[in-house]
Structure 1
Amino acid sequence: MPPADHTRPDTPTTASNPAIRAICAIRNLGIIAHIDAGKTTLSERMLFYSRKIHRMGEVHDGSATMDYMPEEQERGITIASACTTCHWGGVTLNIIDTPGHVDFTIEVERSLRVLDGAVGVFCAVGGVEPQSETVWRQSEQFGVPKIAFINKMDRPGADFAAVLEAMRARLKANAVAVTAPLGQGDAFTGVLDLITGETVTFSDADQGSTVTRAPWSPEEATMAAPWRETLLERLAEADDAFLALWLEGAPGEADIRAALRRATLARALVPAFCGSALRNMGVQPLLDGVRDYLPSPLDVPPPTGTAPDGETTRIEPDPDAPVAALVFKVLVENGRKLAFSRVYAGSIREGDVVRVLGADSEGKAREQAERVGRIFRLHADRREQLESVGTGDIAALVGLRSAHTGDTCCGRGRDARLESIAVQPPVITL
């Protein structure tokens, strides 16, 4: 499903409206992958380089920020999806780190329901693995634009080209390299930026925080030439505007980035980055890719709501409209219910009264007016209290005692229920 034709964030019409400009600067994304592809390690580096955290934890020693449950720390796996927010390059990133095990696939399902984009993580040795296919299919069902990160390029047997080919063959994804590895396995020392024509290296002295860019040497240019030519050819095939520029001569960096963004939003291409999250290499270019190529809430088709009379209506991302939000996860902590919610229109302030629309076990409609007690922005198991949450954003609401997963929160003047989330019964209950 192609994205709606919304105005780009850098156009004059949006620049004159602060509320719309704020929505354009949001990226709601999930990290999806097979088991042990490095999702949580990558999330940890993204938080560290964006200065959300000041010390990186590791999955293998149970200190990762996003794996905060005792069961996760003990086993070194992700069980429940965890939310966090950080800032990079002038945009706000709402990140959901999802589990890789098929047993917890409902966590992926309900996260993808409210996300606008995703980062698919692949092991450079294992390539496209079984759960990689599962989560990729789930994201395709929701029409989620994606970029890819080929992780563990430092491991023996790493093969960047083979992973891209496997993505095309098994996932039917038109993956195209945006950065290429400088060496593989033990010889991996950095990445080649195929757009800027630079070699990007990362300092060991400060855990990869210092990024050095230098023009390609003749040997590096020769190595990168086939990758760059493939990038331009696939862009020309996917985007007619870029094809015209390409036929006229060498397109500039801005032209390539604009075409990549259009092709990614249309799900015609999957930009692929490479690196080693554990060795702190390649993460900052990926963050730039999240900012440049993944959609804002204005770049995706608006959801539809159903009125009591059965009429459907589009929920446009209007900050001044009556509120419409979807509860995609419910968690009870210390006797208080947290309703994880994505706001599609309007805004919610502390003390506001919203109508919670849902259905009972027999499918009959139910409605309950609830007062929002508090609003929190989540950082794994820690919380930051907010006065309000606006269009396009994700937050946890306290006070919605009747809320269930898949319920809709409506404001006065709106009477449309968003499509619910299918709740699967657990395999085992403790």
Structure 2
Amino acid sequence: MGSEDQFYGVIDLVEGRSFTFDEEGNMTEGGVPDEFMEEFEIRRSEMIEKIAEQDDNLLEKFLLEEDISQEELKAAIRTVTISNKVVPVLCGTALKNKCVQPLLDAIGEYLPSPLDVPPVEGVKPGTDDVIARDASNDEPFAALAFKTVTDPFIGRLVYFRVYSGSAKSGTSVLNTVTGDRERLGRIVKMHADQREDVEEVFAGEIAAAIGLKDTTTGETISSIQDPILLEKIEFPDPVVSVAIEPKARVDQDKLSDALVKLSDEDPTFTINYNDETGQTVMSGMGELHLEILTERMKREFKIEANVGKPRVAFRETIRKTTTAEGKFIRQSGGHGQYGHVIIEMEPLKRGEGVQFENRIRGGSIPIEFISSVEDGVRGALKNGPKSGFPVIDLLVRLIDGTYHDVDSSKVSFEIAGSMATRTAIDRCSPVVLEPVMKLEVVTPEDYLGEVIGDLGRRRAGVESIDAQGDTQIVKASLPLAESFGYANDLRSITQGRAGYSMEFEKYLEAPESVVEAQAT
């Protein structure tokens, strides 16, 4: 009921109730207002028809025009939701605390409980043996850490979801990713900003633990006697970097501490220290991501910081296959240095990363030096010849070499591997790759032309334009280098009425003009 700044409530099509809210977010329940009754009947009939198409029991009653009770309708919605045939939609605004209550009720009524989904599957650590665990307290304990936060009062909190079994506070558990034993010091259930201490958690529950010092987001904790490794959450690599420094030099230690805590909470946020420039560099998934983290430092840690211009995380790759040789020979009295390798290098498909393959036969290079050659290869690939960014998506194959009984060492073969790799890259026509983002813009139809024009100026490739009433949804691929400042520009050209979401999609070859601009 109402729209935009005049929005004041909703009507529940299932129960036939209205929920209205004042400016303070206080909710009042009531019946369907007379002025909305006709539209309510039409929309409710449409909803029941859509649900009946997916539920045979409801379909029969619908066709015979029999009354359908609220309980039957809710049961049907729950069934088709759990089977992924429909998605219930509710509207509201968390900012003004409007319609949050009906949303929480709908989560409880329609979404699956742990008993409604198949048993979770994992593997036995160190093997490929698949293990299934039911959501039962009788099964061995298994949980997945899905969030890490720093609480100003009680310290580091690790949120976890129990998939099977139970665990008491003080229990020792195994982190099956790192192999370390941890102790569940305290277990608390979080209710917004309120904490409830509990002695034990059971299958299907979500809780937070104090005392898991080395467990991070995406890692599995399980029973020590019956370990299991659940599917790990994969996080994309950061694509944008900025230099950051405190406005006041006395805040340097506080800044470092804040960055470490934020990176612990967010696996897509990384920090490193550039020895050449003496700068602290933070990297994330986009301009907005880093802006939010900078604002959090100011709000939560009371640190004012200067942030540099965003820098895109380019990559390099090769286009040809070649063979190269690396020789490192030094003689200066006593033991010298001798390392000699021959490698083949060939391009791989996007996303396949860097692969190393040992094809040495007959002992031309002793086995103890092979890992050193690989270290030299991977070290050389960290800085490409065109942009200085890492080289990716290629295969390096060690095919031959020679060694000296006295002078050969791990260091000499590492240097020889690095020399051969740099020579090979130069011969393979290296190219610079730029990160491309998947972009979705939701805009009123009146501004569609301006949005499309602006995307064209940013080298974006529009993939589809879909209409939903008076709203247009534009899906496009946008080079990250062209996305800086997009939030402000989009607000400007649409008078603040359009919104967008953006996530990393892939790496594509960058135009020469972009490469030259990066070099300057």
Q: TM-score, normalised by structure 1?
A: 0.50
Q: TM-score, normalised by structure 2?
A: 0.42
More strand by share: 2
